[in-house]
Amino acid sequence: IKWRQANYATMGWNMGRIKASLDGAYNKDEVIQAANVIQAIANSGMGKLYVPGSDKGSGFHETKVKPELFTEGAKVGKIAGDFNAAANDLAKVAATGDAAAVKAAFGKLGGTCKSCHDDFRNK
């Protein structure tokens, strides 16, 4: 659980870096770095950190994973695949330096996060 939470904290921090750049003075290098970190974590095999029974317990804090995450494999797999594809796309688009394209790709990535949170994360 702790490793899982650490990875999501790192992704969240990097998503914040991208959002800050999109909301302020666009910094291509900052966005590329952050997008590459998100892509690396997304493709790291994080699904292996969701072992049965890890919907209970704590790492840095109590887990928010709902038990349904372990019983709705097809839905979880689709969301995870969509997340990986969106992370890969964001890294590709970030390399172009096109802020408008990054904003669109970032929104798609955020949508995949939201879909998982809506269905499989306790508030």
Tens of pLDDT along 77-112?
999 999 999 999 999 999 999 999 999 999 999 999
C-beta separation of 18 from 35 below 8 A = yes
How crowded is the C-beta side of 65, counted as CA atoms within 13 Å? 25
CB 54 within 8 A of CB 120: no
For 34-91, what is each residue's pLDDT tens digit? 999 999 999 999 999 999 899 999 999 999 999 999 999 999 999 999 999 999 999 9
